[in-house]
A = this chain, B = another copy of it.
């Protein structure tokens, strides 16, 4: 049980970033720990997930979710322990998945919580068994529809989504080609995750190496980065290729469009001539329909060691902004998670 404290630290959005976020865009505040009312629980955050989508919430550009207001707590998925329960379905000490955001404590009426029981690896609820894993599963299987022998390419292949995409592709009999930043990440993707190849996107010869790794072209490109990776992928797409679009991290800090020529007609022409399916998705839309099936499949695969994931654990809530800013530049290695409190409670 975490020791009881009286201060709730939280990180709020101080200003909307122009381009890459800076430390000044975040502010650490200290408030009193709130007290649960009847029907509520008080939660102590153990793990906070840091994910690229959070960059979108910091902006007020039109998007699929309303922006975080200036002064509000940064959003984020969390694994927490119940400190005090005034809710009949939760007991003190219970481990739950929720969305407390970037703070030590929060209250909940339980409706946004999923009990984690005695999960052997609770932080996986934020990655393999959570939103990133579900993103990979839904995008690859329901939009990508991989067939045995097809070639699947995914960038950020050592990250939470990319790593799972490639491992599911292998389970389905497809070839998995990863793209990652640096030799260490590539070695991990190849040797630990079992991809068929992994190309270093920092290599000046990157585009040619990708082409060499895909001698039969690309049937599925799982898009989570955009930028130079997409540019290298486009000429390799096969007739009938599927491109699930789940993220464009290379562009999240863009303040204006890149210089010309305008390649929008080029992309449209490629979609037409190669009968490409380009489909965006936001995983929040699919929980009601698909999460239960995903969770069953993925729990089995994870327990059997067929899908695994390196975690990049950062200690201390106060380090979340720096870790987040680094992630947007690819400095994390594996799923980025902030350990906000010692999960053993000691």
Contacts and interface: CB of A to CB of B under 8 A. Distances in A.
A330 interface: no
Given A248-B265, A260-B257, A266-B257, A239 B64 contact: yes
Contact of A265 (B226, B268, B276): B226
Given A239-B64, A268-B245, A277 B275 contact: no
A254 interface: yes
A279 interface: yes
A271 B278 contact: yes
A264 B271 CA distance: 12
Given A64-B239, A239-B64, A265 B275 contact: no
Contacts of A200: none
Number of copies of this kind of chain in the complex: 2
A285 interface: yes
Contacts of A121: none
A246 B261 contact: no
A229 to B, nearest CB: 12
B273 A262 contact: no
B264 A266 contact: yes
Nearest to A263: B264
B260 A259 contact: yes
A7 interface: no
A272 interface: yes
A64 B269 CA distance: 11
A281 interface: yes
Interface in A43-92: 62-64
Contacts of A272: 245-248, 280, 282
Contacts of A37: none
A268 B272 CA distance: 16
A117 interface: no
B271 A279 contact: yes
11 contacts: A64-B274, A226-B265, A247-B272, A257-B260, A259-B261, A264-B264, A264-B266, A267-B267, A271-B280, A277-B279, A279-B279
Given A264-B264, A271-B280, 11 more contacts: A64-B239, A230-B268, A245-B268, A248-B269, A257-B263, A258-B260, A258-B265, A263-B263, A275-B282, A276-B280, A278-B278
For the complex of A and B, the 10 pairs showing the least CB-CB separation, nearest first, are: A260-B260, A257-B261, A271-B280, A263-B264, A272-B280, A278-B278, A258-B262, A277-B279, A275-B280, A259-B260
